[in-house]
Amino acid sequence: MGNNAQAPGLAVGGTTGPFKLLWGFLATGLSVLWTFLLAPFAALFAALDRPNWVAAVGRLWSWLIIRTCGVKVEIEGLENLAGLDSCILVSNHQSFFDIFATIVFIPGQVRFVAKKELLQIPLIGYALKNSEHVVIDRESGGAAIRKAVKIIRSGRLMCVFAEGTRHSDNRVHEFTEGAAWLALAAKVPCVPLTFSGTAAFFPRKAKVVVPGGRMRMTVGKPISVAGLSSEDRADLTRRLENAVRAAFVTEL
């Protein structure tokens, strides 16, 4: 294992039953509280055009949630990011903890390609729209791509969840070609990023976290787009999907 990191949390070992259930409700409530307290700052900093401050608030918010929920994060392959000024992280997506862990443990300035539905979340939606994150919808597709390319070329890492939505069935689903399009437009390498285990403690549509879980992040080797054109986007997408599948584990 190349790099290991564990988010400091409360250790429960094999504890199950009422204690873990109570902890789950408490951790979920506290996570909502952290969101309620920090979202106004993110929105304010976005209004002031301070994207790095927005990112700092996001890192604190994500760290608090990971710690409160006692999630242990194992990381492999961080050395594969060494020497990259910017890139596109291309990932599968099982739960919101994929986002939290990316924000906390991936070095550098990470930005996200997000779905327009997130704009409906008070304050958080405003911060997303008015900072360096990219919100995709059919009406602003071209403008969003141009914004993303500009942000990436400024030295940011852009994270794309290539399945298009969260899947909590402990499988990697077919990737869409959006990340490949973006990499070819920005002329930066793609880095496969695999999340394993997060669906077990907070699957899609869950209301209460199962605390004390363990997840793994695997950072793959960069895939260069040098010499590729838009006609190669399908092949590039399959290479990225295969790399994520190869690193995905069904049990931790």
- Domain membership flag for residue 6: no
The whole-angstrom separation of Cα 187 and Cα 213 is 37
Does some domain include residue 174?
A: yes
Average pLDDT, stretch 79-90? 94
CA angle 186, 61, 195 (to 5 degrees): 55
Is the pLDDT assigned to residue 11 strictly greater than 70?
A: no
Confidence category of residue 3, pLDDT binned at 50, 70, 90: very low
Residue 68's Cβ-count burial label (10 Å; 0-12, 13-18, 19+) is: buried
Strand 87-91 vs strand 110-115: parallel, antiparallel, or unpaired?
A: unpaired
Task: Determine the pLDDT at residue 238.
Answer: 97
Is residue 2 pLDDT above 70, yes or no?
no
For the CA atoms of 158, 99, 219, 248, the dihedral, rounded to the nearest 10 degrees, stands at -130
**pTM here?**
0.90
Residue 5 lies in a domain: no
The CATH code of the domain that includes 47 is 3.40.1130.10
Q: Answer yes or no: is 201 within a domain.
A: yes
How many C-beta neighbours within 10 Å does residue 155 have? 11
- Which domain does 192 fall in, by range? 18-247
Strand order across the 157-161 sheet: 72-76, 214-219, 190-196, 87-91, 157-161, 110-115, 134-136
Q: Is the pLDDT of residue 69 over 50?
A: yes
Instruction: Tell whether 230 is covered by a domain.
Output: yes
Residue 214: pLDDT band (50, 70, 90) is very high
Averaged over 134-152, what is the pLDDT? Answer: 80
pLDDT at 33: 98
* One-letter amino acid of 43: A
pLDDT of residue 142 exceeding 50, the answer is yes
Residue 1 lies in a domain: no
Instruction: Give a yes or no: residue 72 inside a domain.
Output: yes
Q: Which of 147, 175, 150, 160 is nearest to 233 (CA)?
A: 175
Q: How many domains does the chain have?
A: 1
pLDDT, tens digit, 9 for 90 and up, residues 221-239: 999 999 999 999 999 999 9
Asked if residue 178 belongs to a domain, the reply is yes
Which range (117-121, 122-126, 229-233) has the least confidence? 117-121
Least confident of 10-19, 68-77, 195-204: 10-19
